[in-house]
Amino acid sequence: MAASRYRRFLRLCEEWPTEDSKQQRDLGSVLRQRVAQAFREGENTPIPDPEACDQMYESLVRIHTNFYKNKYPRLKDTTFTGVTVEDCRMILATDILKQMEDMKKGTWKRLREKFSAKKPEEDSK
């Protein structure tokens, strides 16, 4: 029985898309890591609580198939602020978040980091 559960989770991991814009924060990659941890021995992994495992799988399938999005359709694809889904994706991209972190740093801290860090080319000269 553990083998069939393992295969179902593997199939779900294969179908789940990954977002390259969210490095290290993508639900698909986190799901793959958790499945690898949970099924360390592959099909031979003993499952202590099969009911909880099945509930977890069913919940993930509902998320993957947009069950609740389809069950409760929205009238508009924007939030109350008027931000669209694409705008939210752009804002949550890893590159944009790093830029925002850099903007939060004070002038003194940025200058200190700029001048204290040595570049590898300077060390070899």
* Between 60 and 21, the higher pLDDT residue: 60
Residues 60-102 pLDDT 10s: 999 999 999 999 988 877 777 777 877 777 777 766 667 767 6
Dist. CA 69–CA 62, nearest whole Å: 10
Q: Where are the domains of the chain?
A: 1-73, 76-118
Q: Mean pLDDT across the stretch 8-25? A: 83
Q: Where is mean pLDDT largest: 32-36, 41-45, 83-87, 100-104? A: 32-36
DSSP 45-79: ---S-HHHHHHHHHHHHHHHTTHHHHHS--S-SB-
